[in-house]
Structure formats: structure tokens, C-alpha cells
Homo-oligomer: A and B are copies of this chain.
Amino acid sequence: MDNARHTEFIGLKKVVINDGFWTAFMERIRTQVIPYQWEALNDRIPSAEPSYCVRNFKLAAELTHPELDYGVPRDIGHGGCVFQDSDFAKWIEAAAYSLVWRPDPDLEKTLDHTIDIICNAQQSDGYLDTYYIINGMDKRFTNLKDNHELYCFGHLLEGAIAYYEATGKRKLMDALIRYADCVDRNIGPEEGKVHGYPGHELAEMALVRLYAITKDEKHLKLAHYFIDERGKRPYFFALEECRNNGNGSPEDAGEQYHYHQAHKPVREQRVAEGHAVRAMYLYAGMADLARLTNDKELIAACEALFANVSKRQMYITGGIGQSAYGEAFSYDYSLPNDTVYAETCAAIGLAFFARRMSAIAPRGVYADVLEKTLYNGIISGMSLDGKTFFYVNPLEALPEACLKDQRMSHVRIERQKWFGCACCPPNLARIIASLGSYIHSENAGAVYTHLYVGSEAKASPGGTDLTISIETNYPWEGLVNIRFNLKEAARFRYGLRIPGWCRNYALKLNGADAAFTVEDAYAVFNREWKDGDSISAAFDMPVTFVQANPKVREDVGKTAVMRGPVVYCLEEADNGKELCRLHVGQAANISVKYEKALLEGVTLISMTGKREKDWAEDELYRAIEDSAMSAMEDKTLRFIPYYAWTNRSPGEMTVWVNR
């Protein structure tokens, strides 16, 4: 691959979103999620388990600086999970993105105050993980596999960078650079260092992002080391376990490290395995590094892994991680809809990965997945009032089964207020608050538009100052108007994505037909652009019945209903119980209608389908000649967008419907 296709996504500071769909989500994040999470992190939600996040940092600060007194008794221990710091870091990151979009002096003051506490907890050598600061520094860096030390480091680093980029304030950034240098002094290939890598990946992409700011080679090298050391033999995790417990063997077969994507060198990995969030964070870091270093072998691994995930192990909603056991991938084409895990964080991780693959090369296959996750499997994780959240995102929900069938004991049919392990809500907050940085990417000679979100963005292809404005009612309508404002005419390539779901489209340049080429599902105009030029794209957006590859046994004979990027579902609230008895049949009288008052405004789809008639109570099996199609009656089916399910009365839901 030619690195001429590499681009950088246009950053948050340069993009203002004003979108009929997304603005409401971003406002929920800003006005509901971020304030609520701050209360949660401070243990001020009476009904929720304490988070201990802020308390841990205050305690660590008091222990580090005995003269400080935050009012936390010094003899209590670290609270919450070993990775509790990360919740705090994700909140900082989300709050920072939110400040870019909607400045808020009070929030910024809270952040500055918080950052002071964090920095006070930092050790003289830069170390900054409250679990070990509180429990004993002698044990630090001794259990990289399980104790999430480098995961928390990565999240703090991402938070610090986000806050620096949002405000220009360096205090937390500088602290994290010192921590990065501390990690670098302790872990790496050199003798005397720990030759390890993160048990839960994330630091990789955070370090690449840090390098983009510091240009300090050691930050890039550390990311490189984490990525390339992973999965080599003898296994670091096995050696670590031998050291800690005196059992295990460095000659372990590595089977147990699939969960950590550490069963073989990452460059040799072709199939997504193990814990889905871990996998996505690793692959995203690999893609960052591969693009930055134009590492063709690593790019090839990323491409293969992306293809495996998106073409063999991804739900139609963009959800991934089929198995509740280990919150993990299972195997190709195995996509159960009811027992699925599909963690919100995993879909977010897939969006991270897809965005980074799009930066390696603008290809529809990448941004299609990005779009799919955003409009479906990510936002399904949050209620429409921004107050409750899903960890698990089923494609078929059965209230009775969740109570009585152990296979679905992890599935909820109502979103929850908070979680003991609260990874998903702050992750949702940070991706939605930073949505502006997912729309366009550019390089010296080109700009590409990947997502159709109403917005105004500043770009500079070929050195010119360009403003790209998008107006659209996406995802409810397929018309997208794009306007270019630039001081002087300039020649550059402009590509806009033809969505994979779209079969017919028309593009007009300044209201007229014009020449373009289609490259990897991007319509590319290569011309001199003038101020006021505009492109209008009309993407036909009919109701579409989608089937899955027949290797997906769970979906054979079924259809999903989509319109544009939005996956639809049937809910009990609209269609009654026993959704399994409904069939699309000939799908007559299909109607599409935007309902402003329903579910914060959604486009509904209804049609006349079929329902299997009731059987006698005492019939469990009978010969088919007794029934056949005469056993079906007409039934109006009413589909709502999947992301909006269980925002009314909880009940059954299904994405896949019998044909």
C-alpha cells in the first residue's frame, strides 16, 4: 500500500457539529452523563455502589504528600476494582471533548481541581497508579497480565492529551509524560527492565497519540515494543506467573492467552480472538502505529483482522464479542442473537479500529463499519434520556429467558443506572463527545468525508484554508449537501463515501452532473475548488430486507430490516408478545414515517406481515399438512430503530425476523 492514501482525521477543535440526530446525543452526554458520572466518581449517588475513583486519588495524594489533607482517612485501602483509575480518566477525556464543543468554565474549574489531586498523587519518579501507590509500590509492574496497570496508564494518558488539546493546559499532560517516561524506564527490551506488555491493551494507541504531540521517539518505541513483544515465545505472561506463583510454565501452549490476544505475535494474527474490547484496543493501536510508520506487514495484519471481525464475527448492529464467557469472540459465523454479549465498549472499540483503518486508506469497508457501530450498536448502550446504560446489547431479548435461562443471565432488558465495573458509560461519553473527529480526514492533497453529520469543519488540503459544511437529515433522509468555502481556489482531491447500504445515488456538483471516479466506495472529485462550490448527494434510502450469510445458522430463514445505516427491530410494545411467531411474508403496505414525538424523534417503518396463529394449548408438535400457510394471519409489523429499543415499557425485542 502506498502511504499517499494515509490521512489524518480532522481534529475536534476544527469541527463544530450541528446535527439533527447527533446534537441531541451530545447534549445528553454533556448535560446528563458527564455530570452524573462526576457524582458517581465522587461516591455521591445514594443508590449506586461507591466508585472510590476520586477517593483513591485523594488517598494516594495524601500518602504521597503527608502535608495534604483531602479528608480521606489514611488507613483505609484502595476501593473498587484494580482498574478503577480508568473510569476517572475516561471521564476526564469525555469532559475535555465536551469543553471543546460547549465551553463551560465551571466544568473546567472542576477538571483543574481534579487534575491537581491527580498530580499530587504522582510519585517522584512519575509513577501514577493509585492501586499500587496505596497498596505498595514494591508490587508495581509485577502483574501486567491481570492488574490493568498499563491500561489505567493508557486511559490517563488519553485523558491528559484530550484535556491539553481542549484547553492548552499542560499540567496533566506533563505529569503523564513523566509517567510515560517512568513506564519506559521500567518496561522494555533492555536488560533490567520488565520485558512485558499490557494485559489489557490501550496504552499502545495512547502512546502513538502522545508521540504525535511530543515527537519523542521513546514514546513511539514503547508503543512499538508493546505491540511487537506481544505473543512472542516464551510467553511473558507465563514467565510472570511463574515468578509470582511459582507455578505455570514459560513453555505453556499459549491457549490461555487467546483471551489477551497474546497467543502469537500480533503480526501473525489473522482471526480476532479473546476479549473483544482488549482485541479492538490492540488492533486500533496496531493500526495507529502501522500508519505512522507505514509498516506494510503490520497494515496487512490489521486488514486481515478487520476483515475477520467485520465479515465473519460482527452482528448487523456493529456489535462484537459473541460470547458472554470471557466477553469474547467465539468463532467465524457464530452469531447467536439472544445469548450474545456485544458489549457497548466493544462496539466503541470497533469504531476506534474502523476510524484508524479509514485513516490508513479511505475505503468504504472501513467507514461502513464505523457508521454501522455509531448508529446502532454503540448508542443502543444508552437510554434516550442519557440516564441508563447497557453493557450487553442483545439482538433478541426475551424477558422470561433473562430470568430463567442461565445462558441469558447476563442480558438485561432494561438499561441500568450504573455498574460496579463502569467501563461502558464513560466510554460512550468519550466517543460521542468526540464525534466531530470522526467525520473527515485529510492529507496534503485530499480531503475525505466518511460520515454524514451536520457540521462545519476546517481543513487545509494543499495548504489552503478550507471550510466544509454539511447539511443533512441523515440518517432519516439520504440527501446530503456539502459546501466548500475557501479564500482562494485550490486544487485537491475530495472524496465522499458512498455508503455500503446505498444501491442508487446521484451526485451533483454545483447543481449539475460532473465527473468523478469511484475509488473503494468513495466518489472522488479531483479538480480546482472555488469558494461556494457545493456537492449534493442523494442516497436512495428505501426500506431494505437484509439476510445474513447462510453460514450464520442463527439467521437462516430470517431477515433484518434496515433503512440507510439504521438497523430496525420489533418490540413487544408495538407488536405484542412472542415475536418469534411473526413473519415478514410478502411485506405489503410498507410505510415509512418520521415521528417527532416518539422516542425523541425516529423514523418508523410499518408493513403488513404475518403471524402464526395460536395452536391448541396441548399441542407441542404436529404434522405440517395440518397447518401450512393457512395457519398464518395478517399482522401489522411496526419496526423502530434498534438503538431506541426498551425506552418505553420493557419487553421482547428482535432484530432478525422470520421471512
Chain A residues in the interface with B (C-beta under 8 A): 307, 310-312, 314, 316, 323-326, 330-331, 334, 336, 339, 398, 400-401, 404-407, 503, 544-553, 556-560, 578, 580-581, 583, 612, 615, 617-625, 627, 658-659
Contacts and interface: CB of A to CB of B under 8 A. Distances in A.
B624 A545 contact: yes
Given A407-B407, A557-B557, A612-B556, A621 B548 contact: yes
Contacts of A549: 615, 619-621
Total copies of the chain: 2
Contacts of A619: 311, 549
A560 B621 contact: yes
A371 to B, nearest CB: 14
Given A553-B580, A578-B551, A612-B556, A404 B330 contact: yes
Contact of A622 (B547, B618, B627): B547
A49 B652 CA distance: 46
Contacts of A312: 620
A634 to B, nearest CB: 15
A546 B628 CA distance: 11
A210 B404 CA distance: 38
A559 B612 CA distance: 15
Query: Taking each of A314, A405, A553, which has the highest tally of chain B beta carbons within 10 Å of its own beta carbon?
Result: A553
Contacts of A330: 401, 404-406
A334 B316 CA distance: 25
Given A334-B401, A548-B621, A624-B545, A580 B560 contact: no
Contacts of A620: 310-312, 314, 548-549, 552
B621 A316 contact: yes
Contacts of A552: 580, 620
B405 A623 contact: no
Given A405-B334, A658-B556, A623 B307 contact: no
Contact of A331 (B326, B405, B545): B405
A642 to B, nearest CB: 14
B581 A545 contact: no
Given A551-B581, A553-B580, 18 more contacts: A310-B620, A323-B405, A330-B405, A336-B407, A407-B407, A545-B624, A547-B621, A547-B622, A548-B621, A549-B621, A550-B580, A550-B581, A552-B620, A556-B580, A556-B581, A557-B557, A557-B583, A557-B658
B546 A623 contact: yes
A474 B292 CA distance: 73
A350 to B, nearest CB: 14
A163 to B, nearest CB: 39
A586 to B, nearest CB: 12
A56 to B, nearest CB: 33
30 contacts: A307-B618, A310-B620, A312-B620, A316-B621, A323-B405, A323-B406, A330-B404, A331-B400, A334-B400, A334-B404, A334-B405, A339-B407, A398-B553, A407-B407, A545-B623, A545-B625, A546-B624, A547-B621, A547-B627, A548-B620, A549-B619, A549-B620, A549-B621, A550-B580, A550-B581, A551-B615, A552-B620, A553-B578, A556-B612, A557-B583
Nearest to A336: B407
A367 to B, nearest CB: 16
Which has the most chain B C-beta neighbours within 10 Å: A398, A401, A622, A623? A623
A447 to B, nearest CB: 28
A139 to B, nearest CB: 32
Contacts of A331: 400-401, 404-405
B623 A503 contact: yes
A323 to B, nearest CB: 6
A653 to B, nearest CB: 13
